[in-house]
Amino acid sequence: MNVPILQMRGITKTFPGVKALQDVTLDVNRGEVHAICGENGAGKSTLMKVLSGVYAHNTFEGDILFENEPCDFSTISDSEKRGIVIIHQELALSPYLSIAENIYLGNELARNGWVDWRKTNLEAAKLLARVGLSENPVTPIQHISVGKQQLVEIAKALSKEVKLLILDEPTAALNDEDSDHLLDLILHLKGQGVTSIIISHKLNEIRKVADAVTIIRDGKSIETLRLDQGQITQERIIRGMVGRDLESLYPDRTPSIGEEVLRIEDWTVQHPQDHSRTVVHNASLNVRKGEVVGLAGLMGAGRTELAMSVFGRTYGRAVSGKVYKYGKEISTATVSDAIQHGIAYATEDRKHYGLNLIEDIKRNISMAALHKLAKRGWVDKNEETTVANRYRKSMNIKAPSVAAITGKLSGGNQQKVVLSKWMFSDPDVLILDEPTRGIDVGAKFEIYTIIAQLAAEGKAVIVISSELPELLGICDRIYTLSAGHVTGEVPIAEATQESLMHFMTQEKE
């Protein structure tokens, strides 16, 4: 019965300085739905890119056997020829083309170079029927919902005579109804003999569809759990995902926590484009003077969306809820309002949202509070340089001078410039979104020390992080988010990786 369709052996993939995958093994049987589970950044997507030929066969080590034949793909089209199709989290559809055109994009049904529209639309309609989508094939993609677009992607995969369908977080962008429909379709296709690999960390989904679960952690395959052996339970999966060691060092601190500084109540945010999705549901949380509060959540939990919508409505639409500072309600409808009320938000994406990469260090540091350096609209450049030099020293920014261009600094030093910028705006509350992402270990410790110091100075700090050990190492209290809901509030004394992951994967009633 259990006939292997795919065997991946000893897959090791390195990027400059990082081992993304290390000796990974994956066995998938014909006709099963195989889930891959792991924390953010564990290496799930990398593994699928290796499998589908996004990374050419000579850029990684290890062997792939598909239907008992070795695979050496150089491009995606090589893997598609063998019947392996990957559907990425970000859908690859052209919004202005019709459903049928999208399905046959790159594989046009043509005669002598001219598209056969009759055949294209007819065949597309047949495929749409197979995925249970009742739309006219000539409808432009932009006029159908994201959930239906996902189905079009699957129809496109079917048009390529797919044997192994890989779905990377297929329900991340879908509402509940669409998610259910999609999962049903996966089971339906399974009945027709299509094997699927589904990357997901939504445990209810996995329980619903998966015959087997492989857990990836820190680039290694930990174990494969099988349904027929009764191994797929929430406890087993969570234990596999978080069994990470707490080796990194964190600075010692004795928190002295004072009065409440910021309180957010009943915060609800809708997705900016897809109005059927609510990204944050009635979230309430608070942070006190001198306290470091963590926000834990998996991909799509709504952490960044929550933070950015509070910080000047820079994310989402139809934002509702109340923000209180020192017990008084405040408005944070624009970024400058938020800054004036002493809130700072250091983004998770410093290159696109945090820094002006073509400018130097001092001008980046002064950017959010230029008025503090100016008299009647004219900037005192000497004062600016003095300030920048002060931060260069206190934050240990490694650069020849404050006139160095930020685009040329390392990730850790760029992050220190971002932090300096916000510290100079003299906030009472700092929201730090993934403050150590893409930073080497040494610089991470420095960032932790800075966070500890900010708290010691009486600032209220909110840290958003995907690394649970990091949150356990620096926070006093941790909120967990799951699918836009605050599912838990755990004091540090009671928090463990397992207990947090429990809340992070908790489904709503």
**Which residues are near other proteins by CB under 8 A?**
311-312, 314, 334-336, 338-339, 345, 347, 351-359, 363, 366-368, 370-371, 374, 377-379, 381-382, 385-386, 389, 400-403, 407-410, 421, 425
202-209 contacts, C-beta under 8 A, 24 or more apart: 202/171, 202/483, 202/505, 202/507, 203/234, 203/237, 203/505, 203/507, 204/507, 205/35, 205/171, 205/179, 206/35, 206/37, 206/232, 206/237, 207/232, 207/234, 208/183, 209/33, 209/35, 209/183
Q: What is the smallest separation between the CB atom of 371 and other proteins, expressed in angstroms?
A: 7
Q: In terms of CB distance, is 402 or 495 closer to other proteins? A: 402
Buried b (16+ CB within 10 A) or exposed e, 39-48: bbebbbbbbb
Q: What is the smallest separation between the CB atom of 443 and other proteins, expressed in angstroms?
A: 15
SS3 347: coil
Q: What is the smallest separation between the CB atom of 355 and other proteins, expressed in angstroms?
A: 6
Rounded-to-integer distance, Cα 123 and Cα 160, Å: 12
Encoding tokens for residue 344? 């700072």
Q: What is the smallest separation between the CB atom of 185 and other proteins, expressed in angstroms?
A: 37
- Residue 485's Cβ-count burial label (10 Å; 0-12, 13-18, 19+) is buried
Determine the length of the chain. 509
Q: In terms of CB distance, is 113 or 377 closer to other proteins? A: 377
Q: In terms of CB distance, is 49 or 156 closer to other proteins? A: 49
Q: What is the smallest separation between the CB atom of 49 and other proteins, expressed in angstroms?
A: 18
Asked if residues 234 and 507 have their Cβ atoms less than 8 Å apart, the reply is no
Q: What is the smallest separation between the CB atom of 48 and other proteins, expressed in angstroms?
A: 22
Q: In terms of CB distance, is 288 or 392 closer to other proteins? A: 392
Q: What is the DSSP letter of 38?
A: -
Give the CA count within 13 Å in the CB-facing half-sphere of 342: 15
Rounded-to-integer distance, Cα 214 and Cα 349, Å: 30
Q: What is the smallest separation between the CB atom of 216 and other proteins, expressed in angstroms?
A: 25
Q: In terms of CB distance, is 16 or 230 closer to other proteins? A: 16
> What values do phi and psi take at 150, rounded to 5?
-60, -40
Q: In terms of CB distance, is 345 or 391 closer to other proteins? A: 345
Q: In terms of CB distance, is 164 or 402 closer to other proteins? A: 402
Give CA separation, 33 vs 199, 291, 413, in Å.
11, 45, 44
Q: Percent helix, strand and coil across the chain, each rounded to 5?
A: 35, 30, 35
Q: What is the smallest separation between the CB atom of 16 and other proteins, expressed in angstroms?
A: 9
Q: In terms of CB distance, is 111 or 352 closer to other proteins? A: 352
> What values do phi and psi take at 128, rounded to 5?
-60, -35
Q: In terms of CB distance, is 31 or 438 closer to other proteins? A: 438
Q: What is the smallest separation between the CB atom of 314 and other proteins, expressed in angstroms?
A: 6
